[in-house]
Amino acid sequence: MEMSRSQSQNNTGPSAGSLAVVGIGPGSPEMLTIAAESAIKNADIVIGNDFYINQIPHLFSGQEIIKSQMGKEVNRAEQAITLAGDKHVVMVSGGDPGVYGMAGLVLEMAERIAPDLKIEIIPGVTAASAGAALLGAPLTNDFAVISLSDLLTPREVIEKRIRALCTVGIPIVLYNPKSRTRTSLLEDVIDIAKEQLPGETPVGVVKDAYRPDSKIIVTTLKDVMDVFDIIDMHTVVFIGGEETRMLRRHEDARGMFTPRGYHRKYVY
């Protein structure tokens, strides 16, 4: 019924409402952009999963809040598109909405069910940037990002990509590294990396970046299993590339660093 409302609006030209898919960054209010903040504050309706809605209570002052569950992304996208027929709707997504977030699904569904709807994607600080900043500068040159979630991508495909990436020696950032029920894929990925890269290759583990109780660990490929239990779905893992090295930051903190290549051209 609601879908026909947005469809009938399509027939009468652009709708009165709008939809913004907004990245809220890794968790702390300081890491949320000014554009994201103003979109959320000016919305009629804010929709998102519990975990993200709970990170931004300071931005609410009368907007209608619709909390939705993990795993219900298709329903959430359809609901947001439908409501945006005549309301300003913001869908919040963690980090950047275009990086394993809601932007793609929303655009794909809207193309079909509400092609005239005005949709804006507001970027956010993604976990790779947030974690990298806490570690030092591990991603200064080329790098790759892989999600280990096998809900939408078959496990064999993920392993094939990891195997290929390890052969080119660039840093790899692992999103969704391990869940309560899916632990063996991360073990396999570490084994694949060990076949291709030296045991001393730095590995960074950043849990809950820019959230209370964040953890930042710098270890190596040969020792990473010692911290395996700490890694969960709120963690991002950085496997260094062939040029990545440990960085001494201050007395009690190690970091990770990958040179951009200035040393090959300049003396400094």
Tell me which DSSP letter residue 68 carries.
E
For residue 72, indicate whether it is catalytic: yes
Residue among 7 and 219 whose Cβ is closer to ligand SAH:
219
Out of 41, 44, 50, 67, the active site residue is: 50
| DSSP state at residue 95 | B
Q: Which is nearer to ligand SAH, 126 or 244 (CB)?
A: 126
- What is the closest distance, in whole angstroms, from the C-beta atom of residue 260 to ligand SAH in the complex? 23
Identity of the residue, 88 or 234, whose beta carbon is nearer to ligand SAH in the bound complex: 234
Least CB distance to ligand SAH at residue 159 (A): 18
Q: How far is CA 183 from CA 6, 71, 107, 174, 232, in A?
A: 42, 19, 32, 13, 9
- Cα separation values, 157 from 64, 135, 149, 175, 187, Å: 40, 29, 11, 15, 16
CB of 60 to ligand SAH, least distance (A): 21
User: What is the nearest approach in angstroms of ligand SAH to the Cβ of residue 33?
Assistant: 13
Active-site pick, 41, 44, 67, 72: 72
Q: Give the Å distances, CA to CA, from 88 to 11, 40, 54, 82.
A: 19, 10, 20, 11
* Least distance (Å) between residue 14 CB and ligand SAH: 29
* Cβ neighbours for 36, distance < 8 A, ≥ 6 positions apart: 22, 23, 24, 25, 122, 124
CA 9 to CA 105: how far, in whole Å?
21
The residue among 101 and 202 lying less far from ligand SAH, judged by its C-beta, is 101
Q: Alpha-carbon distance 30 to 124, whole Å?
A: 12
Bridge partner list, 120? 20
Task: Please say which residue, 85 or 136, places its beta carbon nearer to ligand SAH.
Answer: 136
Give the Cβ contact number of residue 50 at 10 Å: 11
Note whether 246 and 256 are within 8 A (CB).
yes
Work out the end-to-end distance of the chain between its first and last CA atoms, rounded to an integer number of angstroms: 67
Question: Helix (H, G, I), strand (E, B), or coil: what is residue 59?
Answer: helix
- CB of 175: closest distance to ligand SAH in angstroms? 4
Residues that bind ligand SAH (CB under 6 A): 26-27, 93-96, 99-101, 126-127, 130-131, 175-177, 206, 208-211, 233-236
Taking the least distance from each CB to ligand SAH, the nearer of 17 and 27 is 27
Q: Which residues are annotated as catalytic?
A: 50, 72
